[in-house]
Amino acid sequence: MEGKVESLWEEVRELSLGTTVDRLHSPPTPLQFLRDFVSQNKPCVISNAISHWPALSLWPTPSYLSAALSSSTVSLHLTPDGHADALVPHPSHPSLCFASAHVQPTPFPQALDLIRRPPNHLVAYLQQQNDCFRTEYGELASDCDGHIPWASEALGCLPEAVNLWIGNHLSQTSFHKDHYENLYAVVSGEKHFLLLPPTDVHRMYIKQYPAAQYSYSQEKGEFRLELEEPERYVPWSSVDPCPATGNLKQESLKFPLYFNGPKPFEVTVKAGEVLYLPSMWFHHVSQSPGDDGCTIAVNYWYDMQFDIKYAYFNFLQSLPCRSIDDPTTPESACNEHEKIPTTIMPLPARPQYRNCHLERTAVCYLKMVATLEILGNIFESGVESLMSYGGR
């Protein structure tokens, strides 16, 4: 089995993906975009697609943003080290746990200050993923397009969610996948993506981790990390692609399929560029700030098609994998379908957890959302509040 899975990793690269992410120097036509990238589930970076956005010149001036959002309260994500939705050690639990950030409603100007001038042991990140750009940041609507026109035409719909991201060099996003087609536009600074296609799912060592939540006490200036009650498990990639110095060898031994397999696609998206991040691709994100001290981006999530590609992925993921270099690993270690614990999180929830856990249910949910949209404006009032639970 392992040899065959490895051949799959190689073949998708040889036939379709190549060794680097394609770069387009102008926006594709909707047909080109659909044919050459979406249909093939293949990423690309597009230059000169958002040159007309006022945001490109306005947002890198912090005083502009603070003035525009002077009376806005936004959801600020706080962690001790910039690792939210990531695996961290827990004092009272033997294994790693999946830690979510403390979310603090904060006046925008204060939030921006915290990001640009991080205090010790506190990393702030504006990364609420509940269509926040069209809600919390409504004042900025005229600074960029409400959707990516050629992508909307190609995909036949408007974005399901548009999110704003403002962070600094300390914030990272650990490897995960989304069940959306993603257009990711960088406005200030740079975003650094590591990408792996869905064929490489076994290289992610997805396992179940207990969910935990940071809570931050402003008085004490301290974080506490508490396991959720009732206990909840989240399937998450075990791989840290950038282990601390000296840990690489140990990590390679633990996750040989990742470290010894084909290198992930590395792509840096600069201010003014757009990344098409195809649905189901695993991605790890870090960032470099611009002169304004932060990285600013807007991403557009479009519904994906649950078609034959998705069915193939689920099949692949359901197969047991055994590390080539570590035959003692239990066969089912990478098989999240067989390891869903009895305590399943309620729907709706963060898209990535919802989908990892309950993929069929997620499809029904998405279809339900589509139906609701047809029926009227229920989406605006109802689903939105459900989605405000957050998610990436």
Which of 57, 63, 288, 318 touches a second copy (CB under 8 A)? 318
Which residue shows structure tokens 């962070």?
167
**Is 32 near a second copy (CB under 8 A)?**
yes
**Is 42 near a second copy (CB under 8 A)?**
yes
Nearer to a second copy, 37 or 59 (CB): 37
Residues 257-296: x/- map of binding to a second copy (CB under 8 A)? Answer: ----------------------------------------
Which of 62, 68, 73, 306 touches a second copy (CB under 8 A)? 306
Which of 18, 89, 149, 156 touches a second copy (CB under 8 A)? 156
**Is 371 near a second copy (CB under 8 A)?**
no
Using CB under 8 A, which residues numbered 192 to 221 contact a second copy?
197-199
Neighbour-count burial for 269-301, b at 16+ CB within 10 Å, e otherwise: bebbbbbbbbbbbbbbbbbebbebbbbbbbbbb
**Is 8 near a second copy (CB under 8 A)?**
yes
User: How many Cα atoms sit within 13 Å of 95 on the Cβ side?
Assistant: 11
Residues 90-129: x/- map of binding to a second copy (CB under 8 A)? Answer: ----------------------------------------
Residues 331-370: x/- map of binding to a second copy (CB under 8 A)? Answer: -----------------------------x--x-------
The one-letter code for the residue type at 74 is V
Nearer to a second copy, 41 or 172 (CB): 41
Nearer to a second copy, 255 or 281 (CB): 281
Q: How far apart are CA 302 and CA 24, in angstroms?
A: 20
Nearer to a second copy, 232 or 357 (CB): 357
Nearer to a second copy, 1 or 368 (CB): 1
Q: What is the binding site for a second copy (CB under 8 A)?
A: 1, 4-5, 7-8, 11-12, 14-16, 30-32, 34-36, 38-42, 153-156, 197-199, 305-316, 318-319, 360, 363
